[in-house]
Amino acid sequence: MKVVVVVLNYNGCEVTQECLESLNRLKTNGFEIDLLVVDNGSTDNSVKKLRPAFPRVNFLVNQANLGFSEGNNVGFRWALKNGADFVLVLNNDTTVAPNLLQVLMTLALSQKTGGIFCPKIYFAPGFESHPDRYRSVDLGKVIWYAGGQIDWQNMLANHRGVDEVDKGQYEVPIKTVYATGCCMLIRREVLENVGLFDQKFYMYFEDLDFSMKVIKKGYGIFYEPKAVVWHKNAVTSGGTGSETQSYYISRNRMLIGMRYASWRTKLALYREAVNLLMRGTGTQQKAIGDFLRKKYGQQSTKLWSFPQIPKFPKIPRIPKFPDMPNLFKRKKPEKK
């Protein structure tokens, strides 16, 4: 049984190094493992620095930044070509527990109808969304993902348990509605029967779209709490709330909604789009404008603004005609 671990890197030499160091500590009894780093056109000499330190790791170098979707697709194709039975997609801004693969593989081999298997994911200490909420003893135990939840009415995808301190409340393995691209173990036949990530998304929501396709094909998605990962949230995209993150979430939320939501939600999304075009930030206006024009993939650097309504030419004033005499008006007789 062979597992290929695909780690996508873009100008993240330091965090990728920490990720690979944790992967070197993985327990792999009972199966073969290949580590693959796909470099997405980095300009920080990542591969030159990492290759000597990790001689067992395979490196593929893309000439440009293909985004999360297509960057990982490059890794998928390599894994399938090189005999992978399973592919583990893993963000480079993560570190993993040594038993991660053993636990996920045990679940995968016992759940024959399962297509994707996800671990419990914590915020890495210091990367919590609300760091002031927690005691120092809670750091490293704040949940980032314990399964997926989707509010189709409002077109919101949430992580179960996010921002909660782990007190054992999510310790039961369950079927879940979507897997996170931060870490997912995918069965080979899923990639062969469902396909790869959709390049249109570039980054964000491609995992939800992929999950919908996997479920539609009859495969289950499972959450396994005994497998653990720590995540330095949104490091590659500039951090939570960055302009890059805002653009792709705003645009791709519309795209995913139009594919899978009810017609009522679609109407609500179009109303929201009009509101954002009129009153949103410049980034939101650009994102919605690109969605409406079906401009997907990587966002362009060209500035976009809400088109101005053209002014109509002034209508020339019609000259005023002199008063015409009233021929039918009786003339009053003059007084003598």
**Interval 293-304: pLDDT, tens:** 999 999 986 655
* Mean pLDDT, all residues of the chain: 91
Q: In the predicted model, is pLDDT for residue 306 greater than 70?
A: no
Burial call 68-82: b when 16+ CB within 10 Å, e when fewer: bbbbbbbbbebbeee
Q: What is the pLDDT confidence band of residue 233, given thresholds at 50, 70 and 90?
A: confident
Asked if 203 and 237 touch (Cβ cutoff 8 Å), the reply is yes
Asked if 86 and 3 touch (Cβ cutoff 8 Å), the reply is yes
CATH superfamily of 2-231: Spore Coat Polysaccharide Biosynthesis Protein SpsA; Chain A (3.90.550.10)
Name the nearest CA neighbour of 186 among 66, 73, 19. 73
The token duo for 97 is: 């527990």
Strands (E), the chain: 2-9, 32-40, 58-62, 86-91, 94-96, 114-123, 143-145, 148-151, 156-159, 174-175, 183-187, 220-231
Sketch the domain layout of the chain as residue ranges.
Answer: 2-231, 243-292
> Per mean pLDDT, which range of 6-20, 62-76, 254-268, 300-314 is the poorest?
300-314
pLDDT digits (tens, 9 = 90+) for 170-211: 999 999 999 999 999 999 999 999 999 999 999 999 999 999
